[in-house]
Structure 1
Amino acid sequence: MTTFHEMLGTDDSMSATEVKKRYKSISTRVHPDKGGSDALMRIVTQSYNFVLKGDGNKEVFNSVTVEKGDVSKLQAKVRLLEKENRQLKEAYDRVQKENDKLKEELKDQVAEQFTQQRRHDRASHQTDDELKRLKRQIKDKEKEFAKLEAEYNSYREKREHAVAVEGEPQRRRGPKRASGLLVLLGIILVVAMLGSMPGVSEKIAALIAPKEAKEERAVTIVRPQKPVENDIIELEPLSETQPEVITLPTEFFDIHPINQAGMWGNFRYQESARPYIAVKSKKGSYVVRGCEGNFYFYLNSPNKPLRVSPNLSYRRQQENFHVYEIQYGNGSALDNWFDSNSLLINGESFANANFAQAINRHTQTCLATNR
């Protein structure tokens, strides 16, 4: 016979909430207003009550009293209801299996997509690292190229400046001078040996004696001295016997004020209009480089200090600045500025921002000025 569980399509593992859902689903179909009957409605209601009490395995017709109606008709409807419940349960099981299958497929797809995403992320990270490495190499090469270009331009600038002031520079004559002295010494020895022979000394004297006495004129190349207080190189007055002297022009020291500290900039001296680059420290001092290629330290102090760094050579006072040439050490060469972010000069820190761009523009401007 049919049990209450079979009547509702439930079992002992289902919760009260699930049993209630099954009861509502069946009662809507057997309700008198939906084409059912009072007897079926009572059977479904009593089945629901028995299942909630834990008596769902009891047989329906041994536990339910039918007050009215034909028992055979009622049994037929109950069998029909049981068939529908079985069909619904089979359909539910099929849907449940398909749902589980879809869940597994979706799980596999999600896992595959996650694996592919991880591979993509790993490849993307490797590509980003490679790009960063290449960018660093390019930046280092650009910095190295800028350094070499600045050194080459500085060499050209100094050479053209020297040619413009002194003419074509003389070549070194050290080895040739030494070899010339050796040849001269050999000639003297030969002449001495021949002079000891009778009658030969008179002939040698006749050969080497000059036919006419030529006026001798000494030629002296005067190098520029360190600037003195009045910016003029003092030379001895020329006499009739002294050679002509070319006085090299000294660089002007009148610079423009800079508002921002730590940033190299391109400027021109106020009087000479020659180009220079400069950077300012937080204490108001400057480092300046002109077309001649030397670096100068402008100490911002009303009084000349008693002690400064040993690599600083005093040049002059310009307004509230005491000007020193940086002869060696920190700040004296292009390499110092290219290879560091800041330099310490006489206890003051000078930042090195924008130096490569400033020195390149400065070198080009100096080359154009010297032409």
Structure 2
Amino acid sequence: MTTFNDLLGTSPNTPAATVKQRYKLLSARVHPDKGGSPALMHLVRHAYENVAKGKGQNLLTIPASASVREGGTFESELNKLRKEKEELSALNQLLKGQLAQAKKGTTSREGPIKNTELLRKISLLEGEIVLLKDERSRLMPQKDAAIAEQQKLAAELRRVLSENEVLETELDRTSGVKSPGLMPWASKFWLPAVIVSLSFAVVIFGAKQVNWPAFTLWFDDVPSEPKAPTVRVIYANDETNDQQEAVIEPVDAQQKALSNEPLPFLQLTNKPGVWSLSSFTVSEEPYIAIRSDRGSYVVSDCSGGFNLYLNKPYKPLRVPANLIYLHQNQHFHVYDIPYGQGSSSESWMQSRKLQINDEYFTSNEFKTSAMALLEKCGKGS
């Protein structure tokens, strides 16, 4: 008889990974979408489940999901036949016992007694026995047909399994063919040498292109002093007097203020994506800020405005219209945000994330930091 291991082509010592591989191969072949049938697919799955449970040596049984015809299943039909057979056998035994008791009762009496009722019961029992035999004769062909269908499915599975083994053998043979010519030699020697040479060239060229002064500013904790604004002196000739007078060009009011008062420096952080309360290193005035992944900051102080501290290495050629350049501070280009995204507390409260100059800043912990800033500014005033 056929076992579950015979269907899958496995043995009791086959590893679980190999059993699963055989199941996948057979499923791909007998799947209804690949030209197979639902009955074969259910039978393969039933065999795989029994082998996985360690019941591979058990004789093959038809799963409950394998259909015999359009109105039933193999297992349900067989169970129905078995149940009917048991009921008929029990009824047959009961009738035989009643018949024997009836005959014994007639022989024990003295002399022949004509009992029409007993004779009628005997004839009925004999008729029921005939009907039971007819029913048994009718059910036997169905049982034989079910067994034949089971053997047919098993034979088709073995055929599919043999075809898969042939395909696997051909695939292994074709994959092991080596390409002739210089390609194997080139792949072993020349290609690695070319790849290594290109890697060295890229490293050397990239090292020359790196702006090392700007790179070292990331690791410099001490802020550099701002440069004093330059004043250009122009000497004008007086037609009536040969003495030269020094004429100083007017300097921008904002640059004068920067030359008189030191710029407030940010306290840098390594934690991006979270608003936090801090204070400037020079004036110790409170502010809240958030750092992006590129090292830029969005800062808001007691004035209520928002400024963008753009990291110098990431300064673009063109900036959006809502960014107004103010000055340079530390290694940042400082821009005012008078309108647009990020220019008010409402925009930060209503959004999870804002894009400012191609950089993303989240609103994580903004509400808490803003309330803390208002409290600090209120105490300071």
Q: Considering the TM-score relative to the shorter chain, is it more than 0.5? A: no
> TM-score, normalised on structure 1?
0.37
> TM-score, normalised on structure 2?
0.36
Higher relative contact order (CA 8 A, sep 6+): 1
